[in-house]
A and B are shown apart, each in its own frame.
Chain A
Amino acid sequence: MSQQIIFFILAAVILTSAIAVVTLRNLFHAALALMVSFLGVAGIYILLEAAFLGMAQLLVYIGAISILIIFAIMMTRRLMQTSESPFNAQAIAALIGSLIVLVIMAVVVARLYPLTPSTDSMFASATTVDPVILESSVARMGRAFVSADAYVLPFEIASVLLLAALVGSIIIAWPRSGEEDNL
């Protein structure tokens, strides 16, 4: 029961701040709402007993991506004037399209999985797992990342991807020669 209350609080926080992200005029306020939304998602991970992912969410999303976004907003600050509409001409069509996507996904979920909590099936409430299994999940994940019969190749490719993104974003954002004065 207390888990359900926590879930509803987290869901309310996530959805309210997500709606604020897409509707607020002031982009800086939207970025702050985005941080709140990320925090709520980290709480959901911890509620799902994936504490490592929750911490990674805190570090990567709130610590890095949000700060990056705020930096980008500040570097393009002159365009933050709040007089004109933040939405483009197709905002209403976009709202209808998003609602259709939401309804389709909700109908599919409602038809496939039970909506009320009960102990009848594994989908109606999470099966109780031996706490040792959950506690060792991070160790198992670490081994899976580096064992040859699991995910070592995707792991190394992810390292290369991060390096490429690092170098690429520096190259892209580097001012061309003679342009430094305008910064």
Chain B
Amino acid sequence: MATQAQSAEGSQNLGAGEGDVRRRDFLNVAAVSFAGVGAVVALAPLVVQMSPSADVLALASTEVDISKIQPGQGVKVSWRKQPVFIRNLTSAEVAQANAVPLSELRDPQSLAERTKPGKANWLVTMGVCTHLGCVPLGIGEGENRGPFGGYFCPCHGSAYDTAGRIRQGPAPLNLQVPDYKFTSPTMVEIGATEK
């Protein structure tokens, strides 16, 4: 008993030995880090819940019937709550697009790159100006098509050509071509492949 009391007294007076300090700190560090990891993992659901929920992701694709669109006409449809322009180009508009040398374009892309093979007259683009996000004019009958005969954004004057490429004004990129495919000659599915 006395020995125990003595050694205990010793450790109290002289301070703990080296091994004791390391063991003591290790346990505390281990406990606190474990708790820290737990706290971070516990935050994960709080962050993840803000990502699109399953019902939003399910509406990620839309089918459009294009059978009624005549050459020279276009429609505006909604996909993922954003406008999409689907235009049936006339052969004159196709030729006009193909005549432009790529070196003249701010965002060089040919009409063939922006359409499906064999369907060069079907131009499917987002209806969102790549400058600051306004909806350009030109898809509806009688709307201002701008100096290049395609689309024209009234907000800051960006002008797109018949292939939806930026030709003039502050927008940096061509109108984005979304992911789409022809499920039949008269049906287009937008957002098909990203499930």
Answer yes or no: are A and B bound together in one complex. no
